[in-house]
Chain A
Amino acid sequence: MATEDVHHQSRALGAALFALGALALQGCASHSEHMEPVRSALDMGDPHGAISLLDKEMDVPTPADLPKDMGSDNALFVLDRGSIQQSIAAFDASKHDYEAADKAIDMLDLAHDAKDTIGTYVFSGSSGKYQAPPYEKLMVNTLDMVNYLEQKDLNGARVEARRLAVMQKYVHDDLGESDNAVLGLGGFLAGFTFEQSDQVDEALRWYDQALPFTGFNSLTGPVRALLPKGQYRSPRLKQLESADAPPPPAQDDGQGDLVFVVGYGRVPHKIAHRIPIGLALTMMSGALAPGDVAAANRIAAQGLVTWINYPTLGPERGGYTVPACMLDGHYVQLEEAVNVTDQVRVEWKKIEGKIILSAITRMISRFAIGSVAGAVTGQKNGLVGLLVSLGAQATLTALDTPDTRSWETLPARVAIARVRVPAGKHTVHIDARGVRRDVTVDVDKGGWSVVSLMALR
C-alpha cells in the first residue's frame, strides 16, 4: 500500500513538474523574441506593419493608445513605437510615445532596488525592473527634440533640451560619464534650439559641449557668428573667437539656416545566448568566489543542467550605409554626429562580465534549490528525490529568461548637416537604406528649418 502511494505521488509530482516546465517555457519568451516580428517588418520596409505589431504586443487598439501598464516591456515597446512613428514623419504621435516612455523608463529606473538585483542573481536575468543605459536616457530627449524642431515648436524643443540637461547632469555626476558621444548630438540640437530662441548664452553653452566631439565641423561658422552676441566664453570658444572674423549674420545676407538630421540602420539588439558551464567558468574564473567555482564544478561534473543562459549583443544593421542628402538638386555633405552602436558596445562591455557572473550564480542557486527540494521529498524514496531535484532545476532553468531588453529601434548612426540658404522655397531629398523623404521647405530671411529622416531598416 505504501509503495503504491509513493508511485502515485511520484507520477503526480512528475506530471506537475513537466506541466510547470512546459508552461514556463511557453511563457518566457525574451523581449528580443517578442520584438523579432517588429524587426522583420522594419527590415522589409513596412514601418506601419511594425507599429501594428507593437500595438498587438501591448494589447492596445490603435497607435494613439498607451498600454494600461507602462511596466518594463511596455515602456520599451512604446519607446520603439515612438522611433518608428518618427521614421514615418508622424511627429505628434512620436512625441506622445517618447514622452510617455521617457517618464515610464525614469520611474522604472528610480524604482529599481535591491530586490531586483537579488532577483537577477537568483531567479532570472529579466526578473528585475528595466534600467536604461545612459545612451538610451540621453537619446530619448535628443530624438524628441528633433520632433519639435521639425514642427518649428521651439517651446517644446526647449523643454526637451532642459530634460536632456537634467539627465546629462545625472549621467555625469552620478554615473561618472562625461564623454558620452550622444551629448554631441544633443548639444548640437539644444544649441540650435536656444540660438533660434534668441537665448544666445544658453546656445553657446550647449554648442561648447558639442564642439569637442567629431562630426560638428559645420557648427564652427554659426558658433563664430553667434559669439559677438553673447557673453558666455570657454577656453574652446575663446580659441574659436580668436581664430578668424565672424561671418555675417544670416538675416543680413537675406538668408536662413537649414539643418538636416539623418538616422540610419539599427543598433545591435540583445540576443539570448547559451554557453556550456565549463566555458563560462573559464571566462569568469577570476571573478567568481572559490566556493562558487567549486559548486559550479560539481554541477558540471554531475553533467545534468550544464548550460548557462545569458544575453549578448547581436549584429547592428546598416552601420556602413552612406546616407545622401540633396538640397535643390545639389548634394549636401553630411557628417556623422554620433555612432550609437559604439555607445551600445561600450556600455555592454562594462556590464557583460556582471551579467555572465549573475547567470552562473543563478545556475548555482538552481542547483542548491533543486538539491534541497530533492532532499526534502526524497527522504523516503531516493528516485522521487532525484526526479524532484531535476524537475526543480529544469523548471528554474526554463524560467531563467536572459534579459534581452533594450531600445531596439534606435538608429545605429546619426548624421547631420547645417547649411545657409537664401530665403525662399527649397526642395530637399534625403535617402538612406532605401528610405526616402522629399519635402519642400520655406525658409524666411533669418529663419530656419529642420528636416529629418530616420531610416530604421
Chain B
Amino acid sequence: MNTTSCLVVALALAAPLSAGCGPQYVRGADNPGIDQPAMSTGLDKDDIQRSLHKLLDQMRAAPIMDEWRIKAGQNDRQTVAIAPFLNETSEHIDPQLDAMLSETETWLVNSSIVRVISSERQGDMIRQVEGAQHPVFDPRHIPQYGKQLGVKYYITGKVGSSDERTDDARRVQYFIFMQVIDTETSEIRWQQKTYITKAVL
C-alpha cells in the first residue's frame, strides 16, 4: 500500500471518530449521573436537595410542627407564609433560593397541617408595605406583612457565605439557615442550619 492509500484509509477511519466528539444533548432520565458533577461554585439541584432533606427532616420533628398538628386536629389549621430566602452570599443564587422556597412550600402544602398562603399574593403585599420603588422583602417588617396577609407564621431563611480566593483555588462555603417566625411576637419558634461547600481546585 502506498503513502496516499495509507492516508485515505487513516482519514476514513478518523472521520466517524471525530464526528462523535462534539457536545451532545443528553437526558437526565437516561443518564442519572449527569446531576452528580459540580459545574460551578453556585448551588445546584444536588445541593438544594441535600440541604432541604436535612432542614425539613429536622422541621418535621420540631415542637412547632407538633403544635400545628394539634391545632389541625382541632380544626384550626394555622396560616403560614413562606418568605424569600435572603441571599447574603457572593454568588447570584437567587433562582436556586427561589427553588428552595417552592420545594418547602410544596412539602408544607402536602403535609396538610397548615394553610399556606401563595407566594404570588405576597408580592402585592410586599409592594404595599415597602412601596413600589423598592418592593423587596425585608425581614424587619414581618409583623406588618403578617398583619396585611392575616398570617400567623412566616417560614423564612437566609444564606451566607465565606468566599476565599488564592492563586490556584476558589472556595465558597455556604451557611444556610431556615426559621419559623411568629408574626405577632417576632419570636423565632424554630431554627435550623446546614452547610454546603463548593470549590474550584
Does B133 contact A444, Cβ atoms closer than 8 Å?
yes
A156 touches B92 (CB 8 A): yes
How distant is the Cα of A442 from the Cα of B133 in the complex, in angstroms? 9
- Chain B: residues with CB nearer than 8 A to chain A? 23, 40, 87-92, 94, 131, 133-134, 136, 161, 163-170, 200
Residue of B nearest to A169 (CB): B165
Can you sample 18 A-B contacts with CB below 8 Å? A68-B23, A99-B92, A106-B170, A110-B170, A152-B133, A152-B134, A154-B134, A155-B87, A156-B94, A158-B88, A163-B163, A165-B90, A166-B163, A167-B165, A169-B165, A170-B166, A174-B166, A444-B133
Q: A110-B168, A165-B90 are in contact. List 20 more A-B contacts (CB 8 A).
A: A99-B92, A106-B170, A110-B200, A152-B133, A152-B134, A155-B94, A155-B136, A156-B94, A159-B87, A159-B92, A162-B90, A162-B161, A162-B163, A166-B165, A169-B164, A169-B165, A170-B165, A170-B166, A174-B165, A444-B133
Are B89 and A162 closer than 8 Å at their CB atoms? yes
Contact of A159 among B91, B136, B166 (CB under 8 A): B91
Question: What is the chain A residue whose CB lies nearest that of B90?
Answer: A162
A154 CA / B137 CA spacing, docked (Å): 12
In the complex, whether A107 has a CB less than 8 A from a CB of chain B is yes
Residues on A with C-beta less than 8 A from B161 are 162
B22 closest partner in A (C-beta): A68
How many A-B contacts at CB < 8 Å in the complex? 50
Q: Does A49 contact B (CB under 8 A)?
A: no
With A103-B40, A110-B170, A110-B200 as known contacts, state yes or no: A154 contacts B92, CB within 8 Å: no
Chief secondary structure at chain B's binding surface: loop
Shortest beta-carbon distance, A227 to chain B, in Å?
Answer: 22
A159–B161 alpha-carbon span in the complex (Å): 11
Q: Do B168 and A166 touch (CB < 8 A)?
A: no
**Per-position 1/0 for A71-110, Cβ under 8 A of B:** 0000000000000000000000000000100010011001
Instruction: Output the nearest chain A residue to B138 by Cβ-Cβ distance.
Output: A198
A-side contacts of B88, CB under 8 Å: 158
Bound: A170/B166 CA distance, A: 6
A174/B167 in contact, CB under 8 A: yes
A194 to B77: give the CA distance in the assembly, Å.
Answer: 40
Bound CA span A167–B90, Å: 11
Are A444 and B131 within 8 A (Cβ)? yes
With a 10 A CB-CB cut-off, give which of B90, B133, B134 has the most chain A CB atoms.
B90
Interface assignment of A447: CB less than 8 Å from any CB of chain B: yes
Instruction: Please give, as numbers and ranges, the residues of chain B lying within 8 Å of A110 by CB-CB distance.
Output: 168-170, 200
- Within the complex, the shortest CB–CB distance from B136 to chain A, in Å, comes to 7
CA of A110 to CA of B40, assembled, Å: 13
Closest residue of A by beta carbon distance from B169: A110
Residues 166-196 of A, flagged 1 when their CB comes within 8 A of B and 0 if not, give 1101100010000000000000000000000
- Write out, one digit per residue, whether chain A residues 335-375 have a CB within 8 A of any chain B CB (1) or not (0): 00000000000000000000000000000000000000000
CA distance A68 to B167 in the complex (A): 26
Within 8 A of B (CB), among A437-451: 442, 444, 447
Closest 7 A/B residue pairs (Cβ): A162-B90, A170-B165, A166-B163, A163-B90, A444-B133, A166-B165, A159-B92
